[in-house]
Amino acid sequence: MIPSALKNNLFHKKLLLLTALGTALLALRVYWTQSIDFTFLLWNLFLALVPLFLSKQFLFNVQVQKSRALRIVILFLWVLFLPNSPYIITDFVHLDSARPTFWLDLLLFFVFSLNGLILGVLSMMDVFSYLRKRNHPVLANAILLFVSLLSGYGIFLGRFLRFNSWDIVTKPLVLAESLFNSLFLVDAWLWIFGFGSFIWVSFWALKPFLRGHGTLTVSNPKV
């Protein structure tokens, strides 16, 4: 049997390899087209890492483990930034079959979106494990389903209303007004239930393959 630490190390190397592949494809496209059109994918991938960084605070940050207030803040930030991980999938909207680079672009977006989705699921696994240790499994499942639906809504806000996670601080009034108005839009609810369900199903579909690769193991403090 492969030791857990070694298994985690191999898995992280595979993630780095996937990131390197995406970066190499992007560099090839920049060289081929002499354009930096799709370099925003690197920024989006960085944002996709933020939820995983936040969820790992429960595992590695002793201060977070000791402080209930810090855990609540981290959980809030995690919910706020989680939509950034699957958001990359919506970047497929930039594909144009008329471009001579279409097939390269398709592969490029696939690699980056797969990477973002995996990072998001790993982050969700951490938080799900955390919730299950402190709540009934049914409640933990319900909370994660609700968070998935919120992420679907967050992706709608980012893709169509062009808001970012940090706009809750930089443009709180504008964001609040847009949130209220968007609740009357059919498209918003389609994204909440459509993309939210996709995130939820992706979590359960990928979880068996990713189990054991750095999931949460913390002591007993309660939120």
Residue 58: its pLDDT value, please?
81
pLDDT digits (tens, 9 = 90+) for 169-198: 899 999 999 999 999 999 999 999 999 999
Give the span between the Cα atoms of 156 and 46, in whole angstroms: 19
Per the domain annotation, does 218 fall within a domain? Answer: no
HSE on the CB side for 57, CA within 13 Å? 20
Per the domain annotation, does 215 fall within a domain? Answer: no
Per the domain annotation, does 200 fall within a domain? Answer: yes
Asked whether the predicted pLDDT for residue 6 surpasses 60, the reply is no
Q: What's the mean per-residue pLDDT of the chain?
A: 89
Number of domains into which the chain is organized: 1
pLDDT digits (tens, 9 = 90+) for 190-215: 999 999 999 999 999 999 988 766 55
Per the domain annotation, does 107 fall within a domain? Answer: yes
Mean pLDDT computed over 127-138: 87
**Which residue is it, tokens 């992007």?**
26
Per the domain annotation, does 216 fall within a domain? Answer: no
Per the domain annotation, does 223 fall within a domain? Answer: no
Q: Is the dihedral of CA 194, 171, 58, 67 positive or negative?
A: negative
**Which residue is it, tokens 């370099």?**
39
> pTM here?
0.88
Local confidence band at 223 (pLDDT 50, 70, 90 cut-offs): low
Domain of residue 153 covers 4-210
